[in-house]
Structure 1
Amino acid sequence: MLIKDQIVLITGSGRGLGTDLARAFAREGARLVLNYRSSESAAQELATEIGADRAIAVRADVSDPKQVAGMVATAQAHFGAPITTVINNALPDFSFNGDARSKADGIGYTEFGAQFTGIIGGALNTIQATLPGMKSAGFGNIVNIGTNLFQNPVVPYHDYTAAKAALLSLTRTFASDLGPENIRVNMISGGLLRTTDASAATPEEVFDLIAGSTPLRRVTTPTEFADAALLFASPWSRAVTGQNLVVDGGLVMN
């Protein structure tokens, strides 16, 4: 199915990387469900920018299965067709500040639990809520947003990194389970992006250090990362599932 014929749900699309993902899919003609939890005005503005006939902003906390089910029902009623592509991008609250994160000798399971609830629970809820529609359409794409930190753990984001590593496992087991339904499940993993809300406070020397460590000699932008998501939603990757594509300028090589 061409991207222009798809209805795409992007979780956490009211801010940060989510807005770049939304604009990338909008550029290709997709109809969009812009999920937000607290960034209502930004999500509504983005929907207006894309066009009322092609985008709807819907609030839901993805860690709550009832809210997710309501969001999916609202979107299907609005467009008159099921969601066929899901981009699991939403994050629970997290401070991307290595100096402020709990170290190995002090972190507790409460911190891990919060990340697992938001990242794994959120992905599980959105996938399960949209599966009936994908099955009825005979087609589906699920793209989970990961991180290169579990391959290159240079920052002590223990809880966040563990949850994203678990999301890769979910990606692969769900790919195996859902493949016979013609539903593909993949992951795209990035590192530090230049620049998002999460990386806005990053010192210039850190960007320069990362740029110098990549073959491309630059830090990946949110727009470049978002464009890679189009690959997994397009017919060009119709035989690809269960994969993790690292988009970080070659900093991490598989």
Structure 2
Amino acid sequence: MQISDQIVLVTGGARGVGAATVRAFANEGARVIINWRASADAAQALAAELGDRVIALQADVTDRASVEAMLATAHSHFGAPVTTVVNNALDYSFNGDARSQMETIGWDEFASQFETVIHGALNVIQAATPAMKTQGFGRVINIGTNLVQNPVVPYHDYTAAKAALMSLTRTAAGDLGPLGVTVNMVSGGLLRTTDASAATPDAVFDLIAGMTPLRSVTTPQEFADAILFFASPWSRAVTGQNLVVDGGLVRD
């Protein structure tokens, strides 16, 4: 299915990587749902900017009933079900100086990240799968991190949750493949700049840029372009994979 024929749900789509992803799909002619939990103004502004092929819908991805209601509203609005989901919802701030250290981090911090990253993705995948099965087509794209391979800053809770999401990506690919649904992950490094990375000092951005073959830090727009690959016909034989998009910093 061409991207222009797809109906795409981007969770956490109002800001940062989510907003860049929404714009990337909209620019390719897709119909897009901007999912938001608390960023109402940003979501509505983005929808107004992109026109009538884009709708902003509130839902907490950790609440299954809320997710199902959002999908039902999107189906009614567009006259067809969601074909493609990008699991991007995140509640985290990347500040190495303020992060919790191993000696003091509590399980509640891990549980909070697993609730959004894993429980949220599971809710979205399970709620969207029945319609994908009926259509014989579906694309699930999970957003990961290169910290799993290269934990240069030990964000213990965030990295653990994303590592679990990588495992879910691979196991879900096995179950959903026979239905015509691919499940893949796109993993970034520090992006310049999103709300989540806004607390990062410029010196850190510059240090990372100098370590990459491209001598640059990936932008949200560049990252979103890679997400499009996994939604496109070019990736129709690819599933259960993790693509690292960080300017070549991690080559694994």
TM-score, structure 1 normalization: 0.98
Match of 1:83 in 2: 82
User: Does the aligned pair in 1 maintain the 2:11–2:18 contact within 8 Å?
Assistant: yes
Match of 1:138 in 2: 136
Match of 1:228 in 2: 226
SS of the aligned residue for 1:98 comes to coil
Give the Å deviation of 1:56.
Answer: 0.9
Deviating above 6 A after TM superposition, structure 1's stretches of 4 or more consecutive aligned residues are none
Give the Å deviation of 1:214.
Answer: 0.4
User: Does the aligned pair in 2 maintain the 1:102–1:156 contact within 8 Å?
Assistant: no
| Counterpart AA for 1:86 | V
Equivalent in 147, 165, 168 of residue 166 of structure 2: 168
Query: How do residues 1-254 of structure 1 correspond to structure 2 at under 5 angstroms?
Result: 1-52=1-52, 54-91=53-90, 93-254=91-252
The alignment yields a C-alpha RMSD, in angstroms, of: 0.8
What is the identity percentage for the equivalent residue pairs of Structure 1 and Structure 2? 70
Give the Å deviation of 1:101.
Answer: 1.4
User: Does the aligned pair in 2 maintain the 1:193–1:221 contact within 8 Å?
Assistant: yes
* Structure 1 unaligned residues grouped into runs of 5+: none
| Counterpart AA for 2:118 | I
Per-residue Cα deviation, 1:143-174 (whole angstroms, up to 9, x for no partner): 00000001111112100100000000000000
* Structure 2 unaligned residues grouped into runs of 5+: none
Give the Å deviation of 1:201.
Answer: 2.6
| Counterpart AA for 1:8 | V
Give the Å deviation of 1:74.
Answer: 0.4
User: Does the aligned pair in 1 maintain the 2:93–2:199 contact within 8 Å?
Assistant: no
Distance 1:205 1:113 in 2: 31
SS of the aligned residue for 1:99 comes to coil
Per-residue Cα deviation, 1:166-192 (whole angstroms, up to 9, x for no partner): 000000000011000010000000011
Distance 1:111 1:203 in 2: 23
User: Does the aligned pair in 2 maintain the 1:82–1:137 contact within 8 Å?
Assistant: no
SS of the aligned residue for 2:97 comes to helix
SS of the aligned residue for 1:188 comes to strand
* Count of aligned pairs between the two proteins: 252
Distance 1:168 1:24 in 2: 23
Greater displacement, 98-107 / 155-164: 98-107
Give the Å deviation of 1:46.
Answer: 1.0
Distance 2:28 2:203 in 1: 35
Distance 2:69 2:16 in 1: 24
SS of the aligned residue for 2:192 comes to coil
Greater displacement, 166-175 / 147-156: 147-156
Distance 2:15 2:212 in 1: 27
TM-score, structure 2 normalization: 0.98
Per-residue Cα deviation, 1:16-53 (whole angstroms, up to 9, x for no partner): 1110000000010000011000111111111111112x
Per-residue Cα deviation, 1:182-219 (whole angstroms, up to 9, x for no partner): 10000000011111111223222111111110011111
